[in-house]
Amino acid sequence: MKGHSETPHFLNRELSWLEFNQRVLDEALDADNPLLERLKFFTIVSSNLDEFFEVRVAGLKQQIESGNSGRSVDGLTPPEIFQAITRRVRRMVADKYACWQGELQPALARHHIRILEISELTTADRAWLEEFYQGKVRPVLTPLAIDPAHPFPQLLNKSLNLMVQLEMAKNGMPLKHLAVVQCPAILPRLIQLPREDARRDYVFLGQLIGHFLADLFPGTQILGYWPFRLTRNSELYVDEGDTPNLLKAVEEELHKRRRGHAVRLEIAHHCPKPVREALLKTLNLAEPDLYLVDGPLNPSRLMMLYQGSHSPELRDAPFLAPVAPALLGKKDLFAAIRERDILLHHPYESYSSVIDFLEGATTDGDVLAIKMTLYRTGGDPRIVGALMNAVNNGKQVTAVVELRARFDEANNIEWARKLEENGVHVVYGLVGYKIHAKVALVVRREGNEIRRYVHLATGNYNPTTAKLYTDLSLFTCRAEFGEDATNLFNLLTGICQFPGMKKLVVAPFDLHAKLLQLVAREAANARRGLPARIIAKFNSLVEPELIEALYAASQAGVKIDLIIRGICCLRPGVPGLSENITVRSIVDRFLEHSRIYYFENACQAEVFVGSADWMPRNLFRRIEVVFPIEDGILCDRVIREILGVTLADNTKARRLLPDGNYRPAKVPAGETPRRSQQDFMVLATPKPAAKAKEKYPRVELVASPFPKTEKT
């Protein structure tokens, strides 16, 4: 294999992620989506960009500052990547605010959801706002002068601030000054005005404070004010090998995160150039780090307009996930699992079954022990409460809590402490590795035997996100799965070498090698004229060696369909390299999150499901678990229903072209539009007994809905 720096057939990781965020923005721009759902996507674009700058751009700037001149697999140096990112983000920001100003805000106003300027308010509204300001805003404001006696304040990451220019006479001469007013995070960014009818009118907090600035600076003339916002490096830097207490080390880093190095400055577009330049100099930033904003400074705060139950006509039709047929009416989950393996497809089948499994284990007199991994729980009281109740009921309970789940660190620390205080044995896994696996093990005494029940999943133990993310989870009591799960927890909680597994495939120990072996086997079968095909669904594809293996399989004649929501560094459809590979991305109502790997294996298909994307961090720096689907009926369901329906999507799917751009699928003339997530909701809807056999229709693994004649 030739050096990756010499392989121009890789797409850039950062630019590929930005194209994913563009697909999210496309959903905000899509007039076929309900208005408040468009607003939701619009806010997600902004929060996604924030995290991109906090982590990816921050890391890239560190490489540039350290003089790193190495090239990424796509052949670009850090400065070249940064320049390309800047160009692409500026275009995206322009499109984002054009969407707000030209489409979303006017449409919301037509439906009586308005954000008003102070000048548009009635006398009664102004009086109410002044009372609100005096009573709830002014007491928590602190005007901060900027002069030799008052250095520039240490502003928190992503906080809203006002840069104020004012004039004050001294010795009869007018002198100009700059000051900063921080908008406290405890205050809502949108102030809702009182209304007796169904109208929903708001004023931005920044405008409210700006209107009363003279009250904060008496004896001065306010020349102007401009909202601005900093984005800081938010990566945690914890040396696990040199810290006696990981929890305390992560807590200390969390305090530093709020004041990390600035990486981006966003400011109102009408801010005078001298003021902008002064800010950039103070923050050690340059012109490429500056983004002029013509609209709300932090659009993610507009999510407030979406929240609540108002305006149902502007939302997706509600969907209440039913209990999976395999568990419907089953009061004894352990007995149901003993009958056969059970596969759940979330959010189309209710996550309540997972909660019932855990809660049932806490009160079952025959359950001896419960062990589970916790990555992002959201602090749901039903999950952590079940573990604490189990201790009270005499069970041995172990929770492997990942403290470094990005941007959930504080939440996980809080719940780790509560679990410990309530008698749960809490551990933080292996030094040097994030615990990203999703595994729960229940050990139960049944007569004279011990039986182990295992729950394995692609998504976190978080009932809230389980309603928003598409995931798979499996219940099984197969002996080999139970033995593997036991060995996995012994590895995470004790001191031992990786023992090897019978059924589970575990990163960073053997997953990468296993995937390479499976891809190579398909290539060998194709060369021998045997049926060969690969279908893989995950969030990101970055790992160079696996990409090279897929290229080799394509060249051997293997048909490869990749369903990748986010980053993809592979170039599909390149003659002589990847013409047998298609890549599609689906961005829709629910966040595509399940990871499924299908290998034809000469008509003896193998299907694996798990927590790992095909990225270096997942394969080499995290504990991930991938597991086979061994029940023939469930395997067929994954292939024919889940993968088949997904591949048939010709409405929300977008095709990756060789140049890195995406193009929407096109509904062939005379064919019915197919929207996979809508189809899954229909499939999950309970049917009369007479039609029960139609619940899981066989859907062939269809050909690509994308025209073969498309050119870049």
Q: List, for residues 621-645, the tens digit of each pLDDT value.
A: 999 999 999 999 999 999 999 999 9
Mean pLDDT of 55-59: 92
Give 68's pLDDT tier (boundaries 50, 70, 90): confident
The answer to whether residue 711 is domain-embedded is no
Q: Which amino acid is at 479?
A: A
pLDDT in tens, 553-568: 999 999 999 999 999 9
Q: Which amino acid is at 116?
A: L
Let me know whether 276 and 424 are in one domain: no
CB 627 within 8 A of CB 674: no
Question: CATH no. for residue 231?
Answer: 3.30.1840.10
Active-site residue, 261 included: no
CB 567 within 8 A of CB 445: no
Could you give the CA distance from residue 420 to residue 399 in angstroms, rounded to a whole number? 9
Let me know whether 471 and 554 are in one domain: no
Mean pLDDT of 395-406: 82
- SS3 state at 267: strand
Beta pairing partners, 168: 175
CB neighbour list of residue 358: distance below 8 Å, 6 or more residues apart: 370, 372, 382, 383, 386, 387, 440
Residue 381's pLDDT is what? 83
Residue 175's pLDDT is what? 86
The answer to whether residue 353 is domain-embedded is yes
The answer to whether residue 700 is domain-embedded is no
pLDDT in tens, 207-216: 999 999 999 9
Residue 402's pLDDT is what? 81
Would you state the structure tokens that stand for residue 256, as one six-digit string? 């530093």
CB neighbour list of residue 177: distance below 8 Å, 6 or more residues apart: 145, 146, 147, 165, 166, 167, 168, 220
Give 248's pLDDT tier (boundaries 50, 70, 90): low
CB 10 within 8 A of CB 37: no
Comparing C-alpha atoms, which of 471, 513, 548, 540 is closest to residue 620?
513
Residue 244's pLDDT is what? 53
Residue 234's pLDDT is what? 80
Let me know whether 299 and 355 are in one domain: no
The answer to whether residue 325 is domain-embedded is no
Would you state the structure tokens that stand for residue 620, as one six-digit string? 């080499």
Residue 696's pLDDT is what? 39
Would you state the structure tokens that stand for residue 30, as one six-digit string? 């899509």
Note down the domain range covering 100: 4-314
Residue 404's pLDDT is what? 63
Sequential DSSP letters for 577-625: TTTTEEEEEE-SSSEE--EEEEE-TTTS-EEEEES--BSHHHHHSEEEE
Let me know whether 546 and 498 are in one domain: no
Residue 154's pLDDT is what? 85
pLDDT in tens, 182-228: 998 889 999 999 999 889 999 999 999 999 999 999 989 999 999 99
Percentage with pLDDT > 90 across the chain = 75
Could you give the CA distance from residue 201 to residue 195 in angstroms, rounded to a whole number? 8
Mean pLDDT of 163-179: 86
* H-run or E-run covering 549: helix 544-555
The answer to whether residue 328 is domain-embedded is no
CB 60 within 8 A of CB 18: no
CB neighbour list of residue 427: distance below 8 Å, 6 or more residues apart: 398, 399, 400, 401, 492, 493
Comparing C-alpha atoms, which of 601, 560, 651 is closest to residue 26?
651
Residue 336's pLDDT is what? 97
Q: Cα 340 to the chain's mean position, in Å?
A: 33
Radius of gyration of the chain, Cα coordinates, nearest whole angstrom: 28
Would you state the structure tokens that stand for residue 381, as one six-digit string? 């009281």
Let me know whether 337 and 431 are in one domain: yes
Which member of 346, 436, 455, 512 is catalytic?
Answer: 436
Q: What backbone phi and psi angles, to 5 degrees, belong to 605?
A: -55, 140
Of 503, 522, 538, which residue sits at a domain end? Answer: 503
Burial track 223-235 (b if 16+ CB lie within 10 A, e otherwise):
eebbbbbbbbbbe
The structure's pTM equals 0.90
> Which is more confident, 69 or 551?
551
Residue with tokens 């104020």: 164
pLDDT in tens, 267-276: 999 999 999 9
Beta pairing partners, 374: 401
257 has a pLDDT exceeding 70? no
Let me know whether 469 and 514 are in one domain: no
Residue 152's pLDDT is what? 84
Residue 709's pLDDT is what? 36
Domain count, the chain: 3
Let me know whether 42 and 134 are in one domain: yes
Residue with tokens 């959930």: 408
Let me know whether 166 and 76 are in one domain: yes
Least confident of 132-136, 150-154, 373-377, 695-699: 695-699
The answer to whether residue 234 is domain-embedded is yes
The answer to whether residue 406 is domain-embedded is yes
Let me know whether 369 and 423 are in one domain: yes
Residue 552's pLDDT is what? 98
Mean pLDDT over each residue of the chain, to the nearest integer: 89
- SS3 state at 561: strand
Q: Which amino acid is at 165?
A: Q
**Burial class of 173 by CB neighbour count within 10 A (0 to 12, 13 to 18, 19+):** exposed
Residue 245's pLDDT is what? 56
- SS3 state at 299: helix
Let me know whether 588 and 664 are in one domain: yes
The answer to whether residue 608 is domain-embedded is yes
Of 503, 526, 542, which residue sits at a domain end? Answer: 503
Sequential DSSP letters for 197-257: SS-EEEEEHHHHHHHTHHHHSTTSEEEEEEEEEEEE-------GGG-S-HHHHHHHHHHHH
Q: Which amino acid is at 151?
A: P
Comparing C-alpha atoms, which of 320, 382, 383, 321 is closest to residue 350?
321
Could you give the CA distance from residue 178 to residue 181 in angstroms, rounded to a whole number? 10
Of 468, 503, 538, which residue sits at a domain end? Answer: 503
Let me know whether 520 and 573 are in one domain: yes
**Burial class of 185 by CB neighbour count within 10 A (0 to 12, 13 to 18, 19+):** exposed
Question: CATH no. for residue 385?
Answer: 3.30.870.10
> Which is more confident, 695 or 627?
627
- As a dihedral over the C-alpha atoms of residue 300, residue 305, residue 311, residue 315, rounded to 10 degrees, the angle is 0
Let me know whether 306 and 447 are in one domain: no
Whether omega for the bond prior to residue 227 falls within 30 degrees of 0, making it cis, is no
